Amino acid sequence: MKHLRSTAIAALIAALPIGMAPVAHAASADLKFAGALEFADDGTLFVGDNYSGAIFAFEMPSAAAPDQVAPVNIGDIDVKIADVLGVPSSALAINDMAVHPVSAEIYISVSRIGNFESAPALIQVSQAGEISVVDLSSLNFQKQMLDHYPDQETTFRPRGLGQMPPLVRDQAKGEIKLSSLAIMDMEFHEGELFVSGVAFDNFLSTLRRMPYPFTDTQSAANVEMYHISHDQFETRAPIRAMSIHEIDGEPTLVAAYTCSPIVLIGLDEIVDGAKISARTIMDYGNGQPLDMLSYKLNGEESLFLTSNSRSPHIIPVSSLNDAQSYTKGDLPEGGKSDTMPIMPVGDTGKAIMFDGMSLQMANLGENFFVSLTRDMYTGSLNMDSNFNGFPNRLHNLVAEFDFPQYWEDK
């Protein structure tokens, strides 16, 4: 998750003590995959390595905070990242994006394919829009192996829509490993890293928490939740995106799932070996969440949720206080799709306009969202920074205001 904490920007630039934890390393990082990214308030960058079953914590150089955070806009960002990696863009895959909380530099985790190898790389985009490769071998880091890491053989079971047999594009899931869901999202909160994903031999939805600096101690709890639109309890599908807030006076994890319930989990429930029953409070409609950003909209703490199949959704955090919970039997029986009158359920948010489709999004300073946006018309992938009160561009829109006569009449 991309989480902005303005309080952190001025302070805490000093690095955390290294060498305290038993897992501290001096050697070069043996990172095999650069997946999920999350910054600690001081600029430590956590990188989820799904191939190794580990979280790496890199101490990023403490760059100075800019006087004013600038929007960064780069067309064809995939081509330009591929350029610095020495490959064409067809040999690149983009995995995640995060923004340094102090320097406002943008970091992107990618896979680079060349010479019969898939290699992880971390890309930095400076405030001036310069793209460079982070030299991981020069950074101090810690590595935390994850307990109960799932096997890397088992694959999805293909299904068709409803009673239909699976088509080839559905059958393709049967070739994808469940361990690709092992590290979905990470959230740093008051000295601890929270990690969502699937774990254990039977691939259960799991929340982990571990102190940072790593001490080799970690907790893993299974999460069960009532899924409103599927009308069933679910224990496997993992949390896709999450954020931590005080709700009803308690520190609470707000979590988003596919198709698309929002659930609440008290942080004190996340203890090793626990079977958590999450509190389902909302289902804002079918689709798959991508990112959950926490930011201030008109002074109000809010969540900005992107999806691979819906417009972004804005939910005021305060609206989650005193929320009604839903469980089996509370609503009419059966699956619920977007077109049913009862949907959405308990939704306190709003769908908003967004030009194109955001593959990755993060807070950039207090005023901007930076997004890797797929342009609707050209298909190009662009890094766009927009004012977070109205995160849009105008170039694809034509309206009354674009007529010269409109202005002549003014």
Q: Under the rule (CB under 8 A), what is the footprint of other proteins?
A: 80, 82-88, 90-91, 112-119, 121, 131-133, 135, 153, 165-169, 171-173, 175
The least distance separating other proteins from the CB of residue 75, rounded to whole angstroms, comes to 9
The least distance separating other proteins from the CB of residue 133, rounded to whole angstroms, comes to 4
Compute the 3-state secondary structure of the chain and give helix, strand, coil in percent, each to the nearest 5. 10, 40, 50
Specify the residue, 81 or 364, whose C-beta has the smaller distance to other proteins.
81
CA-to-CA dists, residue 265 to 13, 46, 225, angstroms: 31, 23, 10
Query: Which amino acid would we find at residue 354?
Result: F
The residues, any chain, with a CB within 8 Å of residue 273's CB and separated by 6 or more, are: 219, 220, 221
For the chain, what is the largest distance between any 2 Cα atoms, rounded to a whole number of angstroms? 72
The least distance separating other proteins from the CB of residue 34, rounded to whole angstroms, comes to 13
d(CA 214, CA 155) in angstroms, rounded, equals 31
The least distance separating other proteins from the CB of residue 223, rounded to whole angstroms, comes to 28
The least distance separating other proteins from the CB of residue 54, rounded to whole angstroms, comes to 18
DSSP, collapsed to helix, strand or coil, labels residue 165 as coil
Specify the residue, 115 or 339, whose C-beta has the smaller distance to other proteins.
115
Specify the residue, 376 or 397, whose C-beta has the smaller distance to other proteins.
376
Q: Which residues of 218-230 are buried (b: 16+ CB within 10 A; e: fewer)?
A: bbbbbbebbbbbb
Specify the residue, 117 or 408, whose C-beta has the smaller distance to other proteins.
117
Specify the residue, 65 or 84, whose C-beta has the smaller distance to other proteins.
84
Specify the residue, 19 or 88, whose C-beta has the smaller distance to other proteins.
88
The residues, any chain, with a CB within 8 Å of residue 299's CB and separated by 6 or more, are: none
The least distance separating other proteins from the CB of residue 298, rounded to whole angstroms, comes to 38
Q: Tell me the chain's radius of gyration from C-alpha atoms.
A: 21
Specify the residue, 117 or 322, whose C-beta has the smaller distance to other proteins.
117
The least distance separating other proteins from the CB of residue 242, rounded to whole angstroms, comes to 26
Q: Which two tokens stand for residue 56?
A: 């790496």
Specify the residue, 2 or 112, whose C-beta has the smaller distance to other proteins.
112
Specify the residue, 176 or 352, whose C-beta has the smaller distance to other proteins.
176
Closest CA to 151 of 209, 202, 197, 205: 202
The least distance separating other proteins from the CB of residue 86, rounded to whole angstroms, comes to 4
Strands (E), 83-184: 92-99, 106-114, 117-125, 131-133, 141-145
The partner residues of 279 in beta bridges, in order of sequence, read 264
The least distance separating other proteins from the CB of residue 115, rounded to whole angstroms, comes to 6
Q: How many CB atoms lie within 10 A of CB 398?
A: 9
d(CA 55, CA 146) in angstroms, rounded, equals 7
**Kind and range of the H or E element at 54?**
strand 54-59
